[in-house]
Each structure stands twice: as C-alpha cells, then as structure tokens.
C-alpha cells in the first residue's frame, strides 16, 4: 500500500483508517461496534458520528488522547476506573483504561493536539526548504531548462546528469512531504470541527 496514493482515495474507502487492512464490510462493522461498545459507561458519550469519516487509526487517536490529558482529566479517569473496575486482581485492563479515557476526554483534546503537531511539522518543512508552491515553481524551471540530450556522453556530462536527477528527486521528495502533511492537516482540522460540534 502506497501512502501517497491512499491520500487520493475518498474517505468512504478508508473506513479502517489510513493504514487499515481490508476486511469484509460486516466484519468491519462488528469490529467498530466492539471497539466502542463499552466506551460510554455513563451513557453521555456517544459513538462519534464522524467515525466513518476518520482516516486516522483508532490506536493512534487513543495514544493522542492519553498524551493530551489534563491533570483534572487524569483524576477523573482514575476515579472512574476505581468505581467500575472489574478485574479480579484489581488492575484495570487496557480496554477499561481506554474506555475511561474516552468517557472523560472524548476526541477534542487528541484532535487538537494532532492539528498542532501537523502545523508545527508544516512550519518546519516550509522554514527549511520553502513552501509547496515554491517547490512546484522550482520543478517547472528545472524541467524547462532540460539540457540537450544530444550532448556527448563525456564523464563530465554523465556526472552532471546524475547530479541534476538527484537535485530534482530531492525537490519532488520534499514537495511530497508537504503535500502529505497538508492533506493530513486538512483531515485533522475537519475531524476537530466535527468533534467540537458533538462535545458534551
């Protein structure tokens, strides 16, 4: 699976996330129901309506929820786990911890953190090598100044051709980085808006 090509797919074909594996529709729906079946112990936090539109893996978002937790949310999660913990040894399971974090935090903090991280990444890319538009302009100039292929195949000309190909490849690569970051950022911002609308 090529990530750059998957960015071109409609979100309806990315139901299992950007790096998801293909399964039958019925199995996919069952897995999603299992994933969220116990995610609202109080009944206040519903399964997100944007779940089918999410291109980011759930495990990835679960990790971001944990990272984005505030101190008061951590206390609420600990309290909730203490009230409903069901493990015989007294230690909550991973599923219970994820459920408690979802119950307390939802997706707003995680998606907000993701948007911030992607914006920082985009700023770093542009600060280092310019904008995506400037890369496109460089490629246009590069291609318009294509050397004459009829030149003699001397050692110098061969080395110059290799150097030219390498420089062009570098520009294509760094522009691709910015394109992927921009598309991920756009998706994250869209999900953040949808999450904010459902915030309880």
For residue range 97-152, what is the model confidence (pLDDT) as tens digits? Answer: 888 888 888 899 999 999 999 999 999 999 988 899 999 999 888 888 766 555 55
CA distance 40 to 18: 25
pLDDT category at 190 given cuts 50, 70, 90 is very high
pTM, 2 dp: 0.71
Tell me if 76 sits within 8 A of 56, measured CB to CB. no
Tell me the average pLDDT across 83-105: 76
The residue that leads in pLDDT, 175 or 12, is: 175
The residue that leads in pLDDT, 157 or 29, is: 157
> Going by C-beta distance under 8 Å and a sequence separation of 6 or more, which residues neighbour residue 172?
139
Structure tokens of 15?
Answer: 């139901």
pLDDT of residue 2: 45
On average, the pLDDT of the chain sits at 77
Model confidence at 13: pLDDT above 70? no
**SS3 letters across the chain:** CCHHHHCCCCHHHCCCCCCCCCCCHHHHHHHHHHHHCCCCCCCCCCCCCCHHHCCCCHHHHHHHHHHHCCHHHHHHHHHHHHHHCCCCCCCCCHHHHHHHHHHHHCCHHHHHHHHHHHHHHHHHHHHHHCCHHHHHHHHHHHHHCCCCCCCCCCHHHHHHHHHHHHHHHHHHHHHHHHHHHHHHHHHHHHHHHHHHHHCC
Structure tokens of 5?
Answer: 């090509």
Structure tokens of 184?
Answer: 């991920």
CA distance 181 to 118: 7
Model confidence at 33: pLDDT above 50? no
């Amino acid at each position: 699976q090529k990530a750059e090509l998957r960015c071109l797919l409609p979100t309806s074909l990315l139901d299992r996330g950007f790096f998801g594996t293909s399964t039958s529709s019925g199995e996919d729906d069952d897995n999603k129901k299992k994933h969220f079946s116990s995610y609202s112990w109080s009944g206040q936090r519903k399964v997100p309506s944007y779940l089918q539109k999410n291109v980011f893996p759930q495990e990835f978002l679960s990790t971001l929820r944990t990272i984005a937790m505030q101190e008061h949310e951590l206390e609420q999660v600990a309290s909730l786990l203490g009230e409903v913990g069901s493990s015989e040894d007294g230690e909550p399971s991973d599923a219970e911890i994820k459920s408690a974090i979802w119950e307390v935090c939802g997706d707003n903090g995680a998606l907000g953190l993701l948007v911030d991280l992607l914006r920082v990444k985009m700023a770093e890319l542009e600060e280092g090598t310019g904008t995506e538009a400037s890369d496109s302009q460089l490629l246009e100039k590069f291609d318009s100044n294509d050397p004459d292929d009829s030149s003699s195949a001397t050692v110098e000309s061969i080395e110059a051709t290799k150097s030219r190909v390498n420089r062009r490849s570098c520009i294509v690569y760094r522009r691709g980085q910015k394109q992927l970051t921009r598309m991920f950022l756009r998706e994250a911002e869209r999900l953040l808006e949808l999450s904010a609308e459902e915030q309880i």
